[in-house]
Amino acid sequence: MAGQSLADDDGYAEYRDRFEPLPALPPIPSDNSLTKEKIELGKMLFFEPRISSSGVISCATCHNPALGWADRIPQAVGHQGQVGKRNTPTVLNSGFLDSQFWDGREDDLEGQALGPIEDAIEMAMDLDEAIEQLESFEAYTERFDEAFPGQDDPVNEENVAKALASFQRTLNTPNSPFDRYLRGDTEAMSEQQKRGMAAFVDNGCIACHSGPALTDGQFHRFELPDGPTDEGRYVITGDESDKYAFRTPGLRNVGVTYPYFHNGMVDDLGEAINIMAEQMLGSELDDDTVEDIEQFLHAMTGEMPDISFPALP
């Protein structure tokens, strides 16, 4: 292919070939086909504050489209101003992840969807009450009928989860400079970003940050310096080897989804790179290498989803 030969000519082919571009869509589960009706319903539910106890918090409160679909504060603030203990991960490209939440307590988006609604610190609403609230609006009963045809009582917890998951699977960020480069456009990334790509591979970052979402989906022990104690995945599994272990975050759009790490203690991407090199690789990077890698990571910022805010009933 012509594009392939052009990419080979820039001298970085051996590094480029270690990566893969982001597909148009993540894997779609066999029991939750992706349909327009589910996506539209899921979007309404994502922005719906009346399935929270206060009536003012929605999924979009912490996953703000204007803030990289996160919230840019160290830990999320939820019901009655309560502060959670972990940083809000972006929902961008979340359908490509092998598990959800920092501790991986849910396998997929369907499993993740309902947790924040009933969590006492987040939206703090009993799921039965949330369903009753939705059923009180004719517009929602009609939308559920359209999204889940043939069901006697489609307004239920399972379908809320499926609709939210369907919407979130569309929140992908294609066509980043990095993706364009991987597909053969040698001018899509600067020379510094290409050096950063090489340094990213040569220094071992790719060992954990690989695949289309730049994560291995695994859990690694990681204790932040001077950070609050959080036992991570151990809380879920009880396995001593999981103590202080957290899911490897994806690096897509990392330049706009600060602050970093599970407690959001670091705002600066260069500082985050240094901490990761020291703790996970046991190495100290020079300033030029850190800057090169940082610019490479900025090349992973893709096109944000073009989402219009839904008119809620």
The residues carrying an active-site annotation are: 122
Amino acid at site 27 = P
Distance CA 95, CA 168 (A): 7
**Are β-strands 245-247 and 219-221 bridged in parallel, bridged antiparallel, or unpaired?**
antiparallel
Distance CA 251, CA 178 (A): 12
Task: Taking each helix axis as running N to C, give the angle between helix 138-147 and helix 36-46, from 0 to 180 degrees, rounded to the nearest 10.
Answer: 140
Q: What tokens were used for 20?
A: 């893969």
Q: How far is CA 84 from CA 77, 212, 313, in A?
A: 6, 29, 30
Distance CA 290, CA 278 (A): 12
Q: Residue 280 gets which letter from DSSP?
A: I
Distance CA 257, CA 88 (A): 9
Distance CA 263, CA 135 (A): 37
**Beta-ladder partners of 276:** none
